[in-house]
Amino acid sequence: MQDVMNPEQQKVPLQLTFLTGRSEYKGKQLFKEFSLRWPDFIEFDEINAKIITKHSSEEAYRVWSLSTYSLQYLLKDQTIAEFKICNSTMLLLHHIISTPVSTDCSSQSTQSKIPMTLINIHLGAELLKFDFDKVNQEIEFLEQFNEKIMIKQKDKPLIIYNTLTQSLSTVKDFDAPEAFIFLYDKEKFLTLKEGKIEIWTADGERITEQESMLSYYECIALAGRYLALRWIRIQCQLRMRIKVTQRRHIIIS
């Protein structure tokens, strides 16, 4: 059920304060110069040691250091709709662009594309700009896995785009999962749907239990560790959330 906020709740800014951790940060209020209100959020990325805050009123994102809690750079672009984070990079997904296209029958159809920008998450520097064309169905799955970008539209196969080689590959027997876990050091990812767990390589090849029993159970064990390190998004409509970082700092909002 979606949470519905009343106008008074929307006016309350999010405030974070350190309770434990390194002595120099105890009792320190974070982000006190910036107000975060619904639907803004804070996302903790422990893989790259970053904090990302969204500021809807400014149409901007700020990237902070998770080690020093200092501001590193500002992303101000009203076309950014979402972002994905991976090792050392951030994928910016811009709003879908639709353009009319004439057909042979003198009628018009619409062709859509998603502009994307790949940046260095540590510096904010642009690495690559490209478009994903022919978006004409609901997008069920869109994630970044190292240099690979995986896109699954409804009733269509999974498309894997390699940003290094700028090549496309297709995976026909991939169903959009209910949940997934990337195992970066294994170059594999797990998908979960209707109680079934499947293991895939970064190239979209499914690994069955018969092919690799040890690999299967090893990945299941690793899943618990990666679940603990996954990014936690703090939605401002909730009254309180508690985040314990990998360095045993406790942050309460």
Per-residue pLDDT at 119: 96
71 C-beta neighbours (distance < 10 Å), count: 15
Phi, psi (deg, nearest 5) at residue 207: -105, 120
Per-residue pLDDT at 5: 41
Q: Is 171 exposed, middle or buried (0-12, 13-18, 19+ CB in 10 A)?
A: middle
- pLDDT, averaged per 10 consecutive residues of the chain (253 residues), comes to 41 51 63 73 87 88 89 93 91 90 68 92 94 87 91 93 91 88 81 82 78 52 50 36 42 43
DSSP 119-188: EETTT--EEEEEEE----S-EEEEEEETTEEEEEETTS-EEEEETTTTEEEEETT-PPPSEEEEEGGGTE
Per-residue pLDDT at 159: 94
Per-residue pLDDT at 239: 33
Per-residue pLDDT at 250: 40
Say whether 222 sits in a helix, a strand or coil: helix
Phi, psi (deg, nearest 5) at residue 17: -135, 135
Strand order in the sheet with 232-235: 71-76, 60-65, 50-55, 41-45, 232-235
Cis check for the bond before 13: say yes or no (omega within 30 of 0).
Answer: no
Per-residue pLDDT at 192: 81
Per-residue pLDDT at 186: 77
The span from the CA of 233 to the CA of 253, in Å, is 12
Domain boundaries, the chain: 177-230
Phi, psi (deg, nearest 5) at residue 231: -65, 140
